Chains A and B, each alone.
Chain A
Amino acid sequence: MGVIIDALVDLVHDKAFEEGMPALRLVFTPTPVGGKTPKELAAYIAGNDPVTKKPFMQEIVEDLTRPLNDEEKKTGVVKREKKRFIGPDTVDNIQKYFDDRFWTDQLPIIMPTQERVAAMLKATHHKPDEVVGRMRVTGEREAWEYTVETAAINAVMAGAKPEHFPAILALAASQTEAHSSSTSSMAAMAVFNGKIVNELQLNSSTGALGLYNNSGALIGRAWSLLSMNATGGSVPGHTYEGVQGNPMADVPAVFAENVAGLPPGWKPLNVQKGFQPDENVVSTFDGCQSQNTMMVLQDEDWQWALKRIVGGLGSPQRGGKLLLIDPAVTPPLLRFGFDTKEKLINWVKENVTMPKDHYWLDQEVINYKLGPARAGQEPYASWLKAGDDAPIPYLNNVEVVVVGGSGNIRWSVNECSYRKSVKIDDWR
């Protein structure tokens, strides 16, 4: 049997259902458990289950000894079907039906009629029933699969045009969840390289990360809706648990690298990932939680400043950082010796560190890395054995992309991890 906080009552019942034990016996504590003193926890144990209102320990004993009923003994396979069509009904009623099930971002959608979806599907040679990939709301939940048609339906809902569809399919094929259900409220980003940037007029300049570009906004919204609906909708308490939410998750930042702004020696992202410069590629980043901008680094203390800004965001449990460099900021970086992106990436990985004793006191590190460390998984096992003030180089997923309109000598560090690069022309 399990014990869990009452804030996750719906989620844990969903999870038990997915695992084939819908009647799994569970007892609940008040929320939270983390951060509570021993005295407060003892009061939880001596008190009542906040869900059933029964004495907590009495429930534990009963759940451990009550004979199983027929429902709890059931085995076999349960198939889950879905109805293909909804309606006929009015636009307002269908919108409400979709909103109520969290199949939308709670904004008006374009009705995904058969005719509109068929027009979208003409933009690819792939068959509608071809499975494009699978997504999970979090790594521990069940994987739902989605087809080319699923992607087309969500693309129509987002207002995307058929010319956007191969790019949307490539994002779908990345299997990067743009609407993660993590309690830490994550978002995602996508960076485009290749000729498609001009074809779709994707933004790499002023306002690139925002909604100042029609193609980027439509592709981003389609990616977001698909991520919500591929897993059955994004329902608070069930399939969305972001404690505070994340404004970047509603419409993920979808933009192009400013290839014209790359200094000599700096390769575009698609080339870094093994593609040719002209190949149309979309690269995804997830786990995005925050963005921090700063102005140009000074010659006198750039090392200190770079370590401070890159190391200043988020938990060291997350090894990802995305450095978004405006072209105006590259001259001093070249002066500091970073004549390739890789040199900058490696410097950050080696020099942004945290003292060992502080690293292992970070709650996310405890949650995610202590178990693997104790199980002997490297490098965490060695980091656990290191001296108290040993520097822990915790960043393992650092990327550099050039973007921006050079309206100022500004750049940003983003709490994001690189996931995958997908060739778009494979999805035409």
Chain B
Amino acid sequence: MMHPFPVACAAVLYLGLPGIAQAQQPDLYFQLGAVWAAPLLHDNIAGQEITTQQSIAPMVRIGAGLPVAPKVGAGLEAAVAWGGYSADYAGSSTDLGNITTLSFLANLNGPIAQRLRWRVGIGMIGTIPGEDAGIFLQGGSWNALFSAGVDYYVPLKPKFDLMIGARADTHTLTPGQTTLVGFSGTQWVPRVSLGVGLSLKRVANP
């Protein structure tokens, strides 16, 4: 069952986009890029190290927001990434299928320098396997997500800027099956993503 937080974020983004686009200083953007994630899980069976790793995944990111103070904006950002994942051990790699990650972030942003803005956010990420098997035998999960990044704007058209966005984030991931078989503690999965896209030109932008 879908977690209520991403449902609410998706609804706010969908319903709020027309209004934000009409606002005086809208923060509206779309990016294509890729995400790299650290290993999903480390294991050791009979002395053999096993690493479960996601591949670098193509990503689509959209965001919208409004100014809330003279130098601070607030917004919502959603991203979806599709990639494979594998288990690496004994010098070989076993393909375990596909994973989709769907993330929603509530963020604050502000200027750092000309054309450069910071953006920090907190939200949730859903890790949804293509097949309920292996470490995801009990299915995917929704977890807290913490993100920080920067966006760089390059004037492109009268109404649009080219936007390059870099993010570093981290989230917890402890699939139900791993708990069932005796894993303990929390697995954190840091990620790095880079996206390039278009942003509706901000009036305040240089």
Asked if A and B are interacting partners, one says: no
